[in-house]
Structures are given as C-alpha cells and as structure tokens.
C-alpha cells in the first residue's frame, strides 16, 4: 500500500501578517482620498441642482450690488439655476465674509465682494476669516480706479499744481472720504504720503455726502468713484486731476494717472466672485469661465461702463495674483493712515 505523505498547510508567520496589515492600513488614507476626489468630481458634474446664493456685503442699490445682479443674471442663464443675490451688511463686510467662509464648499454659496473686504478690513479690525486661507478666488467682474477731484475754485489746474498748493498750505486743506478705512481714504493717504502733503481728513457717511461736500466747497479734495464724480465734472462742479490706475482710463483719456507724477502709485478697486476655500476646482473654473464670457458681451460692458467700471473677467490664478501684487500697497496705506493694523 502506497503511503501518502501529509504536508502541513503553510501558516503565514506573525511578521508577515503584521506587514500585510500595515500595508492595508497605509493604503486606507489614499483610498479615502480617491473616494473624496471621486465624490468631488461627481458633485461638480451634477452642479448646480438648486439655486445658488451670492452674498453681497453692501446694501442694495450701490455699485457692488448692481454689479452682482448684472453678473448673477448672466450666470443664471448660463447654468439654468437662479443665482440669487443676498445683501448681508455689517462690520464693513466682515459679517458677509465670515458667513461665506463658514459655508459648505459645495458650489452653492459665493461671495461677491470688493477690495476692502480682502485688502483693508482684515488689516484694521478683527475678522473671522483669512483671505488666502478661507477663500477660493474665482473671477474679477470689473475694476475701477478712483479719481482725484478738487473744487473748481481751486487755483490748481493740474495734479502737480495741487500738490505744490497743498505743500504751501500745510494743515489748511481738507480732503473728504466716505469714512475712515474706506478705499478712498487709503488712496488719499497714500497720495498724501507720496506727495509729502499735510491735509486734514474729514470723513462722511458714504460717497454721495462726500461728493456734495466737494461741490459745496466744504472740502478741497476727494478721491472718489467715477460714477460719483464724472457727472459732476460734466456740469463743471468739480475738476478731475488724476486717476489711481497705473495708466490713464479709457473713459477719461485727458486725465493723467497719478503714477505719471508718482511712479508706482496704483490703487484700483475691483469687484469679483470668491467661494469657500474647498469648493471643487471644476465648479470654480466653470463659474470663472462663465463670468469671462458674460463680461465680453457688449451689453454688459456698456452697463458696467455707465458705473465707471472696466469689465475684466479673469481666471482664478490671475485674480489671486492681483491680490498678491496689491497687498504691499494696502499695507503701506493702512500704516500711513494710523488705523489699527500691523
């Protein structure tokens, strides 16, 4: 009778079991990452399936609100869901910013804000968000320089003459702003610093009041919005001496850039879309492309132009680069203003 040899089954050694377990354990985070990426891609492909909120940090009727509604109307048509503007006022825009930063990053909440919420407010007061950490930059809808205007009775006919006049009268000239810490305030402070001027700051409650103060002669200088000052200039009630962009503005080719006299001077306001930081990149990119397409429409360009806004529509990377490039200027202006900051 043939004997059969019985071979004991192989048993994996303890070290082998541990090694396999460790490999499986190490693979778990990677698998989870792939799962999250897959879920994000699926979310982006299905988006939007319901209305999208667009949070605006200013009250209805102002330039930022009007721009948000123009852009949201076009995005609603592009994506087949309503982009609904919500005005959330408070804390110079900090309330709205914090609300968006804490919102779910699912593509259903966007922040349509202006320069101050990113470049000024975080420097002068405590806010519940960090611009580069808590937001994804989507696209700038439009940009607008401020315009330096004086009363028509001023002996200065040019920016150079005004600077000489102000230096000859230290502490005797008043400049108005729409409030401490506003874009116009910091533009004025930076100009005074570069030109070596000593003027008295008179803050008002908004640009409309400041414009009236300039027209009446209560103040001698105002760095204001194009939509406020150009109509008054056409009536001969104010004189425009300079724009805060690096180059002359297409709407005002006869008005020089302040940078022509003080190289490097640039403070240009922007309005654009941001999203919570972890919003799927595909959604951010789709909205950015839709904004760019919308602002190329001649009808939109015309509507923005009436507000003194130059249509832009850039990419997320280009938007972020604008922020990085202008940050040092705003830090310098805040420091020169004496407002709480660094």
* DSSP secondary structure string for all residues of 46-106: H--SS-EEEEESS-TTSHHHHHHHHHHHHHHHHHSS-EEEEE---GGGHHHHHHHHTS-SS
Kindly give the interhelix angle for 316-337 and 281-294, rounded to the nearest 10 degrees: 80
3-state secondary structure of 207: helix
What does the pLDDT average to over 300-323?
Answer: 94
Say what the pLDDT of residue 173 is: 96
Q: Is a pLDDT exceeding 60 seen at residue 33?
A: no
Phi, psi dihedral angles at 295 (to 5 degrees): -80, 0
Q: What is the pLDDT of residue 336?
A: 86
| In the block, residue with structure tokens 């082998």 | 16
Q: What angle do CA 238, 116, 323 make, to 5 degrees?
A: 110
Q: What is the mean pLDDT of residues 27-31?
A: 55
Structure tokens at 293: 């397409």
Q: Sheet harboring 239-243: ordered strands across?
A: 200-203, 174-177, 221-224, 147-150, 239-243
The mean pLDDT value of the chain amounts to 88
Share of the chain above pLDDT 90, in %: 70
- pLDDT of 159 above 60: yes
Read off the pLDDT band of 312 (50, 70, 90).
very high
50-142+268-327 belongs to CATH 3.40.190.150: yes
The confidence score (pLDDT) of residue 42 equals: 55
pLDDT in tens, 222-247: 999 888 999 999 999 999 999 999 88
pLDDT of the residue at 106: 98
Q: Using 50, 70 and 90 to split pLDDT, how confident is the model at 51?
A: very high
Q: pLDDT tens digit string along 278-292?
A: 999 999 999 999 999
Taken as a whole, the chain contains a residue count of 342
Minimum mean pLDDT range among 33-42, 52-61, 184-193, 261-270? 33-42
pLDDT for 57-77, tens place per residue?
999 988 899 999 999 999 999
d(CA 52, CA 22): 44
Give the 3-state DSSP-derived string for 223-285, with helices as H, strands as E and coil as C. Answer: EECHHHHHHHHHCCCCEEEEECCCCCCCCCCCCCEHHHCCCCCCCEEEEEEEEECCCCHHHHH
Q: What is the pLDDT of residue 249?
A: 85
d(CA 291, CA 138): 9
Q: How far apart are CA 161 and CA 220, in angstroms?
A: 13
CB atoms within 10 A of CB 34: 10
- pLDDT at residue 30, as a whole number: 54
The answer to whether the Cα torsion of 172, 176, 180, 181 is positive or negative is: negative
What are the tens digits of pLDDT across the range 93-110?
A: 999 999 999 999 999 999
Domain chopping of the chain, boundaries: 50-142+268-327, 147-260
Q: Given this model, what pLDDT does residue 220 score?
A: 97
* The model's pTM: 0.79
Mean pLDDT of 251-278: 94
Distance (Å, whole) CA 116 – CA 122: 8
Give residue 28's pLDDT: 56
Q: pLDDT value at position 20?
A: 52
The whole-number average pLDDT for the span 167-178 is 96
CB 236 within 8 A of CB 215: no
Instruction: Please give the backbone phi and psi of residue 214, each rounded to the nearest 5 degrees, phi first.
Output: -70, -45
Assigned CATH topology for domain 147-260: D-Maltodextrin-Binding Protein; domain 2 (3.40.190)
Residue 122 has pLDDT above 90, yes or no: yes
CB neighbour class for 68 (10 Å; exposed up to 12, middle 13-18, buried from 19): buried
* Mean per-residue pLDDT, 324-341: 85
Kindly tell me if the per-residue pLDDT of 114 is higher than 80. yes
């Amino acid at each position: 009778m043939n004997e059969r040899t019985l071979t004991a089954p192989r048993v994996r050694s303890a070290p082998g079991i541990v090694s396999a377990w460790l490999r499986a354990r190490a693979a778990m985070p990677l698998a989870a990452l792939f799962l999250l990426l897959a879920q994000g891609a699926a979310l982006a492909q299905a988006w939007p399936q319901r209305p999208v909120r667009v949070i605006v940090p200013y009250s209805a009727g102002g330039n930022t609100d009007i721009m948000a509604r123009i852009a949201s109307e076009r995005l609603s048509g592009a994506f087949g869901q309503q982009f609904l503007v919500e005005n959330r006022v408070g804390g110079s825009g900090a309330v709205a910013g914090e609300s968006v930063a804490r919102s779910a990053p699912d593509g259903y909440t966007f922040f349509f804000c202006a320069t101050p919420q990113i470049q000024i407010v975080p420097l002068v007061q405590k806010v519940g968000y960090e611009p580069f950490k808590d937001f994804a930059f989507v696209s700038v809808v439009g940009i607008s320089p401020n315009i330096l205007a004086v009363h028509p009775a001023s002996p200065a006919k040019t920016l150079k003459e005004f600077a000489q006049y102000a230096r000859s009268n230290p502490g005797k000239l008043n400049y108005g702003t729409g409030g401490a810490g506003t874009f116009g305030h910091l533009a004025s402070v930076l100009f005074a610093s570069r030109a070596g001027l000593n003027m008295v700051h008179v803050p008002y409650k908004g640009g409309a009041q400041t414009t009236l103060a300039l027209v009446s002669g209560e103040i001698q200088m105002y760095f204001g919005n194009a939509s406020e000052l150009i109509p008054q200039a056409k009536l001969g009630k104010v004189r425009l001496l300079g724009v805060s962009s690096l180059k002359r503005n297409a709407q005002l080719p006869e008005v020089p850039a302040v940078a022509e006299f003080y190289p490097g001077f640039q403070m240009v306001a922007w309005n654009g879309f941001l999203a919570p930081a972890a919003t799927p990149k595909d959604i951010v990119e789709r909205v950015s492309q839709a904004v760019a397409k919308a602002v190329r429409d001649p009808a939109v360009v015309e509507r923005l132009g009436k507000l003194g806004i130059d249509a832009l529509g850039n990419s997320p990377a280009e938007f972020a680069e604008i922020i990085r490039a202008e940050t040092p200027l705003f830090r310098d202006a805040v420091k020169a203003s004496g407002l709480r900051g660094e």
